[in-house]
Chain A
Amino acid sequence: MNAPDTQTQNLASYNFAYLDEQTKRMIRRAILKGIAIPGYQVPFASREMPMPYGWGTGGVQVTAAIIGRDDVLKVIDQGADDTTNAVSIRAFFAKTAGVATTTSTPDASIIQTRHRIPETPLHAGQVLVYQVPIPEPLRFLEPRETETRKMHALEEYGLMHVKLYEDIARNGRIATTYAYPVKVEGRYVMDPSPTPKFDNPKMHQSEALQLFGAGREKRIYAIPPHTDVVSLDFEDHPFEIQHFDQPCALCGGEQVYLDEVVLDDHGGRMFVCSDTHHCESRRADGHRGALLGDEPGQDKEAMA
């Protein structure tokens, strides 16, 4: 065995939760400002992280700034604990912070997510950390930061309503299905991150604190618990969420968000819960969907 040389030793010594304390302080200050001004995007000096920009660096920095030794962390991507990037981020914190991890939504004190809000209602004391690619809800209407900043300052959101209305004129409905803009506490229009609009109502008056981190774009924002979060709409075209025609094929769950799984090349497909923990715990409780195997309560996936 080769003794590790000094350089590897140096490179291997990172702080608790990776970030140095000065960086954490800077991020913490931004988080506090974000909570105090719900929906306002606080600029912060985002750092390069050991994973690429666009792969959750904002969420990772927020989590790293708030996490403590007693926290229990859950990480999901597309609602699932076992997607590769969720696995990678969970392993990162298990390694750099030595914290306990879980796939159980109620057991987690911090949940970092990309693209979904868990189906199980969150409880007080939990923090939901969103990974955000483009935090500016007006960005695709106006690419210039100098302009969008002015619009937020003046509470001038006409452009957004025009865009949504053009959707209606062209398609007979609002054609935005995810990253559907919301208004927070009657003031800031905010991007909920690319969650399907199905999840928007869960943000409203949530028991949990919701923090949003955009690493590449260097913005942090927040929604405190018990805060009004309203999806933009029109009187004659009220906001509505997606509805699925069938229950989850594995757990029989309804009123949940489903993923379409292609089963074969003859058009066979099925719909299953995107929230893997929700699906598994329902099956553990004896709920059974149409395509679940024979042995009740047996977790088939463990064998794959």
Chain B
Amino acid sequence: MTMAPHSSTVYEGGFSDPVGASQAVFRALMNAIARPGSIHAVPHVTTPPAPLMASASALIATLADADTPVWLDPALTKTAAVRDWIVFHTGAPVTDQRSEASFALVAAPQNLSALNGFALGSQEFPDRSTSVILQVSTLTGGTRLTLEGPGIKGQSSLAPDPMPQHFAAQWMANRAVFPRGIDLILAAPGSVAAMPRSTRLIRSEA
């Protein structure tokens, strides 16, 4: 059997300290989800092939494995490198069905059409839903989102960019099917923030 030729980046750039790195990344993410709108540093522990961002790749390497199908947006499937890196370093199967994905990785959120194509879980098992990781270039420089809900004392805010089209309306639709729905993880260079499905978006006077 011959191996398909690969650039070396596919086999490199994984965790060098899998136990410590995944724990540190997980805690950052856990705190981000527990306190929606708060921004947490993600240690630089992975070096993935472009256009996958280091923070997003650290998150997927922390969360995904053979039990969790991963969906990649078109920006990430242009070349095989990202897919191969994820498969090699996590063992996760890559799926082209959004509704089957445990995790979705999105490098170009502005092109993401609809959030409701992902698994939303069922009323009995709302946990059987997709966690969507959006790669953003900033968490503070975009359009300001005002957030309320569990984990937030009063209100909090985030200003991620880029974001999916008509995000406010899409998020309200997501919130409306609670406890079903997707959870959103925002991976920026060196940091992470989150909007779990319980978070309400407050229309802010721009």
A185 to B151, CA, bound (A): 11
Given A36-B196, A154-B123, A185-B198, CB of A225 within 8 Å of CB of B35:
yes
A224 and B123 within 8 A (CB)? no
State which residues 9-52 of B face A: CB under 8 Å: 18-20, 22-24, 26-27, 29-31, 33-35
Which among B67, B124, B152, B196 is the interface contact of A150 at CB below 8 angstroms? Answer: B124
Which among B30, B65, B127 is the interface contact of A42 at CB below 8 angstroms? Answer: B127
A15 to B23, CA, bound (A): 13
A279 to B78, CA, bound (A): 63
Given A66-B26, A69-B20, CB of A37 within 8 Å of CB of B34:
no
Which among A36, A68, A153 is the interface contact of B33 at CB below 8 angstroms? Answer: A36
Interface string of B98-128 (1 = CB under 8 A from A): 0000100000000000000000001111110
Q: What's the A-B contact tally at a CB cutoff of 8 Å?
A: 108
Q: What's the minimum C-beta distance from B200 to chain A, rounded to whole angstroms?
A: 11
Q: What's the minimum C-beta distance from A77 to chain B, rounded to whole angstroms?
A: 25
Q: Of A24-32, A160-168, A250-258, A280-288, which binds chain B?
A: A24-32
State which residues 62-82 of A face B: CB under 8 Å: 65-69
A226 and B150 within 8 A (CB)? yes
Size of the chain A interface, CB-CB below 8 angstroms: 43
A185 to B20, CA, bound (A): 34
B198 and A153 within 8 A (CB)? no
Given A32-B183, A37-B198, A225-B35, CB of A68 within 8 Å of CB of B27:
yes
B19 and A15 within 8 A (CB)? yes
Q: What's the minimum C-beta distance from B138 to chain A, rounded to whole angstroms?
A: 23
Q: A48 within 8 Å of B by Cβ?
A: no
Q: B6 within 8 Å of A by Cβ?
A: no
Q: B131 within 8 Å of A by Cβ?
A: yes
Q: List 29 A-B contacts (CB under 8 A).
A: A15-B19, A16-B20, A26-B65, A26-B67, A29-B68, A29-B102, A31-B30, A32-B63, A32-B131, A32-B183, A35-B34, A35-B151, A35-B196, A36-B183, A37-B179, A66-B26, A66-B27, A66-B30, A154-B123, A185-B149, A188-B179, A223-B150, A224-B35, A225-B35, A226-B150, A226-B151, A226-B153, A227-B151, A228-B150
Sorted nearest first, the 6 A-B pairs with minimum C-beta distance are: A36-B196, A224-B151, A153-B123, A33-B127, A227-B150, A68-B23
Q: A35-B196, A37-B178, A40-B127 are in contact. List 8 more A-B contacts (CB 8 A).
A: A16-B20, A26-B65, A28-B30, A32-B33, A66-B30, A153-B123, A225-B153, A228-B150
